[in-house]
């Protein structure tokens, strides 16, 4: 099993270019089921989750052409064999985002059998919201032996859907399904993350008729068919926030490029309040040594609030403040698994239910630590960059799910980091 070894204390100096967003690319890949024509996705990150989704789609008859993924970050998807409608457990269990094939399959094939999803254990993330909404569009569902079996013999039909809670995955699934439903679909209480807007932009370029309105409302006029397109995946805002924190805590001067600043303004505002020295310019952020870190009370929220996917990383930054800070996790109920590992490295973090209190610490020290999920693992990388001595991070396959060429990017800016067997 691979490990990452980091010797801390090196300031990061240089430039890091942000990759395409994994969380945007995955639903875009699922949208390939909605048309017979090819979808080409540019700026696609070469990540484990991309390959997993490619395997799921391949099992459903989608030709996943990844010949240019490494060299150009481009993939092409073509729904070539529509006779398949079974997404098996061995594939779906690896990643929760696999459930995103459910809506497109039901809209296009009028039937689907999809295993209940797996993935990292950061919360239940129930799929009943997906199922209930698709039922309102005309789907009929049964749960048999761990599989969701559904059909819509007469096709899907438009409906007014009020989502009971804001859900990124459910919003994506229902929007994709509604593009081929008969009539108008109105969805209220949608998630409005940039990744969802990117999906909508791609669907519109495929011929979908979608209108995003205020107050988390979207209207979709169903069409008979969609066509192929070429689409560029948006930059990964979570990767951007992670490297901004890396630049701030290592006391160097780091330039983070290939950004969409509108997508990260919410994070930048929080970072500036904490005391991070940030300069914005075009699609670039420059992070300089931040000598004074202030404490803060922070809640994770749906976009445009502070993202839950940055919660673990910001705890490393807040550990350097002079006074205690609090972070309340409002999205997932089991997302503090990184805290014991950070505490082993010298952090002083207490948790009580959904609230974490980050007390000032006397610095981090190298240790053997274990990654538990994607964002938890990168918080250990951040702590390792400023730790005294050597840190070994185990189970780094979590990192490979969401951070493209992490060691290369950090090493190019002076970090002492290497991957070993």
- List, by residue number, the catalytic residues: 120
* Per-residue buried b or exposed e for 358-388, using 16+ beta carbons within 10 Å of the residue's own CB: bebbeebbbbebbbbbbbbbbbbbbbbbbbe
Across 196-222, b (16+ Cβ under 10 Å) vs e yields bebbbbbbeebbbebeeeeebebebeb
Residue 255: alpha-carbon gap to chain centroid: 22
Helix, coil or strand: residue 103: helix
Cα 351 to Cα 379: distance, rounded to the nearest angstrom:
17
Q: Which residues make beta-bridge pairs with 281?
A: 284
How far apart are alpha carbons 15 and 292 in whole angstroms?
23
CA–CA gap between residue 400 and residue 421 (Å, rounded): 15
Task: Check: CB of residue 208 under 8 Å from CB of residue 226.
Answer: yes
User: What are 373's two structure tokens?
Assistant: 């999920």
Q: Put residue 50 in one of left, alpha, beta given phi > 0 → left and psi -120 to 50 → alpha.
A: alpha
Separation of alpha carbons 419 and 88, rounded Å: 32
Helix or strand (DSSP H, E) at 344 = helix 339-344
25 SS3 class: helix
Is 3 exposed, middle or buried, given 0-12, 13-18 or 19+ CB atoms closer than 10 A? Answer: middle
Residue 118 tokens read as 């797996």
Residue 395's nearest CA partner among 7, 3, 119 is: 3
Query: 358 near 331, Cβ under 8 Å?
Result: no
354 Cα distance to chain centroid? 21
Q: By CB neighbour count within 10 A (0-12 exposed, 13-18 middle, 19+ buried), where does 299 fall? A: middle
Distance from C-alpha of 237 to C-alpha of 242, rounded to nearest angstrom: 9
Q: Which is nearest to 392 in space by CA: 362, 416, 412, 409?
A: 416
Phi then psi dihedrals of residue 108, to 5 deg: -90, -45
């Amino acid at each position: 099993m691979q490990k990452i070894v980091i010797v801390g204390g090196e300031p990061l100096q240089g430039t890091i270019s942000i990759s395409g967003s994994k969380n945007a690319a995955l639903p875009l890949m699922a949208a390939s089921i909605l048309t017979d024509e090819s979808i080409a996705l540019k700026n696609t990150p070469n990540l484990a989750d991309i390959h997993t989704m490619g395997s799921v789609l391949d099992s459903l008859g989608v030709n996943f052409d990844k010949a240019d993924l490494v060299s150009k970050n481009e993939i092409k998807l073509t729904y070539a064999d529509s006779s398949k409608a079974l997404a098996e457990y061995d594939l779906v269990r690896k990643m929760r985002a696999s459930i995103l094939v459910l809506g497109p399959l039901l809209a296009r094939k009028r039937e689907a059998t999809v295993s209940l999803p797996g993935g990292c254990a950061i919360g239940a993330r129930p799929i009943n919201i997906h199922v209930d909404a698709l039922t309102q569009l005309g789907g009929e569902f049964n749960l048999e032996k761990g599989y969701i079996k559904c059909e819509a013999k007469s096709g899907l039909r438009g409906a007014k859907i009020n989502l009971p809670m804001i859900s990124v995955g459910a919003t994506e699934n229902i929007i994709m399904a509604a593009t081929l439903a008969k009539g108008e679909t109105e969805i209220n209480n949608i998630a409005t993350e940039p990744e969802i807007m990117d999906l909508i932009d791609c669907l519109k370029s495929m011929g979908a008729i979608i209108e995003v309105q205020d107050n988390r409302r979207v209207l979709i006029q169903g069409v008979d068919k969609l066509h192929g397109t070429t689409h560029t995946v948006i930059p990964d805002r979570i990767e951007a926030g992670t490297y901004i924190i890396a630049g701030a805590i290592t006391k160097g001067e780091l330039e983070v490029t290939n950004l969409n600043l509108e997508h990260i303004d919410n994070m930048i505002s929080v970072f500036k309040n904490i005391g991070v020295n940030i300069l914005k310019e075009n699609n670039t952020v420059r992070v300089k040594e931040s000598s004074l870190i202030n404490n803060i009370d922070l809640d994770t929220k749906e976009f445009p609030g502070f993202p839950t996917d940055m919660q673990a990383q910001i705890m490393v930054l807040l550990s350097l403040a002079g006074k205690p800070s609090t972070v309340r996790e409002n999205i997932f109920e089991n997302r503090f698994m990184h805290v014991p590992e950070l505490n082993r490295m010298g952090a002083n973090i207490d948790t009580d239910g959904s609230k974490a209190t980050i007390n000032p610490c006397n610095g981090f020290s190298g240790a053997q630590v274990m990654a538990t999920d994607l964002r938890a693992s990168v918080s250990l990388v951040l702590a390792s960059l400023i730790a005294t001595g050597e840190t070994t991070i185990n189970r780094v396959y979590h990192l490979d799910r969401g951070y493209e060429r992490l060691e290369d990017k950090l090493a190019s800016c002076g970090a002492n980091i290497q991957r070993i067997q």
